[in-house]
Amino acid sequence: MNKIPDSQILVIFGASGDLTHRKLIPALFELFERKLLPAKFLIVGVARTRQNTEEFRQSLLDSMIQNRTTYAIDNPHLTDFLRSVYYIVCDTTRSEAYEALFREIEQLRNAAGIDDNLLFYLATPPIMYPTIASSIEARHQNRSAEGWRRIIIEKPYGSNEAEARALDRLLCAIFPEREIYRIDHFLGKETVQNLLVLRFANSIWEPLWNRNYIDHIEITATETLGVEQRGLYYDSAGALRDMVQSHLLQIMAFIAMEPPATFEPEAIRDEIAKVFRSLRPLSPDDIARHTLRGQYATGTVDGQKVPAYRDEPRVDPQSTTETFAALKLYIDNWRWADVPIYIYTGKRLAEKRSEVVIHFRNTPRTFFPGQCCGNSCNQLVITLQPDESIRLRFGLKQPGTNFEVSQVSMDFFYSSLIETRLPGAYERLLLDAMRGDSLLYSRSDALELSWHFLAPLLESWERDGDEGLITYPAGCKIPREVVDRILPDPCLLEENACTLCNTRRP
Ligand code: BG6
């Protein structure tokens, strides 16, 4: 059911930045087109850049056209939509600036007859989170007697366990936990949400969904993009923080969690936290044998020659930050004991693809050896993007005079459910926060537990610097070492594999 949110103002801090232009405003326009925004609704962009509301609207329009986010310049609705957007210049580093800011917001709110509901979106560099949150509190804008206050925090949510905890302590002293929305945009993807429906709307999987029938699980996200203009941030983060700590561990939790008591946010978040609590701690031996990090060298992606990571803008030329991370982990609970879970992700690889592959165990005795992919004929391949699909693979007899087995696949493509495009992740997440639904947002305990799990690996990689860091040519399918050292059964990769790339140490 499409519940329309309360009337409200969305206040975006960091509004002159890329995220606002490329993701937030286009997503809000889509919601507007789908008539999912409240009738009384304003977007107030806040940033230091000196410009007025008209100029801000024009820059949003230019960016939407330039990024070709589906909108024609003559779309009459676009002009209507932009009428609800305002801009306030504010140096958010100065606490005295907030008095005027909130005065102006109040004026806009009264003029538009909007209830006292403010949703703050922090699209600023993370270093600004504490200042903005504390300044909101200093102006008594963290609570309202007549309405509500909510705050959305972009990732990275801290860069290690201690920082995440400190940020949490600060935010939780200002806003109630239920009003803090820690965004992980992967959870806004239709196909990621579908993992919950696939598992909990069907009874056929549950009997198989455990260590008795599942041999191992692969969770991967490869990208063709490099670090673009985000060198400064990325060089201090790396693939483990940027993709594994947030997106891929969350996907793992959706795959591994127990059925919740109800389909309510807290019940689901309880189960997610339980998964993280059951992660087997990474020992030094696990780190040495079951993890791998790499960095891209110059190469060719989509026919274009691209620079090495170390030559990217705002990246340290001596950087040892990983742009590729692979690890094998275990969830020590009754359902998953001893089932390896392989996670890998990397930038500047041959294709953009996010996928979960459930590898089922082989039959107890093998009558037809070597005919299927790897050890077993059965995999459930859930492609989260780009060609969103679910494929169940199994072996069948190849017509002929021998018992030759062909591996076939029963395929479902999302495109058969919907004629238009799938709604974008930010559309769903913004709408949920506007409606007060936190199901697809991370809870503080889960975040801290995921940081806690990765802490030994982060420390070890930081300590080791160049040592153990492999270099892969941009555009390769997957570094050879992952197949040699980490994955037990890389047949799905090899099947369509252009090349496994040869790597070297820098
Ligand atoms: C972001 C990361 O969270 O996710 C980026 O910071 C990454 O580095 C991006 O490119 C991938 O998201 P998507 O939706 O394009 O797969």
- pLDDT by residue (tens digit) across 460-480? 999 999 999 999 999 998 888
pLDDT surpasses 70 at 149: yes
Looking at per-residue pLDDT, the higher value among 113 and 67 belongs to 113
| DSSP-derived 3-state class of residue 416 | helix
User: Could you read off the pLDDT of 314-334 as tens digits, one per residue?
Assistant: 999 999 999 999 999 999 999
What is the model's pLDDT at position 497?
Answer: 41
Q: Report the distance separating Cα 306 and Cα 226, nearest Å.
A: 9
Confidence of residue 293 (pLDDT cuts 50, 70, 90): very high
Check pLDDT > 70 for residue 227.
yes
Q: Tokens 């979960």 map to which residue?
A: 356
CA distance 189 to 170: 29
Q: How far, in Å, from the CA of 184 to the mean position of ligand 1?
A: 10
The CB of 242 under 6 Å from ligand 1? The reply is: yes
What pLDDT is attached to residue 392?
Answer: 96
Is 220 within 8 Å of 345 (Cβ atoms)? yes
Residue 427, ligand 1, Cβ within 6 A: no
- Measured between alpha carbons, how far is residue 34 from residues 4, 29, 60, 114 in Å? 11, 9, 19, 21
> Is 214 in contact with 360 (CB distance < 8 Å)?
yes
- State pLDDT tens for residues 401-445: 888 888 899 999 988 887 777 788 999 999 999 999 999 999 999
Q: Does the pLDDT value for residue 114 go beyond 90?
A: yes
pLDDT of 339-374, one tens digit each?
Answer: 999 999 999 999 999 999 999 998 888 888 767 766
DSSP secondary structure letter of residue 349: B
Closest CA to 17 of 40, 53, 41, 49: 49
- Of ligand 1's atoms, which has the minimum distance to the CA of residue 354? 16
Find the helix or strand (DSSP H, E) in which 159 lies: none
Rounded to the nearest angstrom, the distance between the alpha carbon of 70 and the centre of ligand 1 is 20
User: Domain 8-154's class?
Assistant: alpha beta
pLDDT tens for each residue of 181-198: 999 999 999 899 999 999
pLDDT band at 175 (very low <50, low <70, confident <90, very high): very high
Nearest to 131 by CA among 30, 35, 14: 14
Q: CB count, 10 Å around CB of 467?
A: 9
Residue 247 among the catalytic residues: yes
- 23: Cβ–Cβ under 8 A, 6 or more apart, which residues? 185, 424, 426
Atom of ligand 1 nearest to the CA of 223: 10
Q: Residue 52 and residue 42: Cα distance in Å, rounded? A: 16
Angle at 143 between CA 183 and CA 50, to 5 degrees: 65
In the 3-class helix/strand/coil scheme, how is 286-323 assigned residue by residue?
HHHHHEEEEEEECEEECCEEECCHHHCCCCCCCCCCCC
Q: Give residue limits of the domains in the chain.
A: 8-154, 187-364+443-504
pLDDT value for 414: 86
Torsion angles phi and psi, residue 134, rounded to 5: -65, -35
Count the Cβ atoms, other than its own, within 10 Å of residue 206.
Answer: 11
Q: Could you tell me if the CB of 489 is within 6 A of ligand 1?
A: no
Q: If you take atom 5 of ligand 1, which residue's CA is the nearest one?
A: 242
CATH topology of domain 187-364+443-504: Dihydrodipicolinate Reductase; domain 2 (3.30.360)
pLDDT in tens, 16-32: 998 999 999 999 999 99
What would the pLDDT profile of 235-283 be if each residue is shown by its tens digit?
999 999 999 999 999 999 999 999 999 999 999 999 999 999 999 999 9
pLDDT at position 496 is 41
Shared fold status for 8-154 and 187-364+443-504: no
Look at the block and give the residue holding tokens 């990024």: 67
Residue nearest to ligand 1 atom 13, measured at CA: 186
List of residues 6+ apart from 411 with CB closer than 8 A: 389, 390, 391
What pLDDT is stored for residue 491 in this prediction? 59
Distance from residue 211's CA to the centre of ligand 1 (Å): 31
Q: Is the pLDDT at 489 greater than 80, yes or no? A: no
Label residue 498 by pLDDT band (50, 70, 90). Answer: very low
Q: Residue 82 Cα, ligand 1 centroid: separation in angstroms?
A: 27
- For 317, phi then psi, to 5°, come to -60, -15
Pairing of strands 478-479, 500-501: parallel
